Amino acid sequence: MVKDKKDLTIRILAFLTIILALGLLYFLIINPAITKNQTQKYNQAFNDGQIVLLNSMISQIQQKGFVNIPLNENQSLVLVPYVPQSQGASQSNQ
């Protein structure tokens, strides 16, 4: 009976050691790898979204001549292309 209790105790301790080792493996290796992958995917999607937004704004400016961006209920931002005057034209007007 004493041998059975020792075997049972050893099995329980071995099981707990395996559970603790798996938990340590998850928190030190697996979880950081998953988090790193999620961060990379998020950053890539964010950058792709910025590129798509800027390209669509540029396309709309080229087609319509302006882009209207609503900020809230009472305000909006209008973007139009900037065409600088040449030096010769501004000097002849003076």
> Tens of pLDDT along the chain (94 residues)?
667 889 999 999 999 999 999 999 999 999 999 999 999 999 999 999 999 999 999 999 989 999 998 998 899 999 988 888 877 555 555 5
What is the value of pTM for the model shown? 0.56
Cα separation, 49 vs 40, in Å, equals 14
Confirm if 39 and 33 have CB atoms less than 8 A apart.
Answer: no
Q: What are phi and psi of 78, to 5 degrees?
A: -110, 125
The amino acid that residue 16 corresponds to is: L
Interacting residues of 71 by C-beta distance below 8 A, sequence separation 6+ = 77
Cα separation, 50 vs 37, in Å, equals 20
| Residue 80 token pair | 């139009």
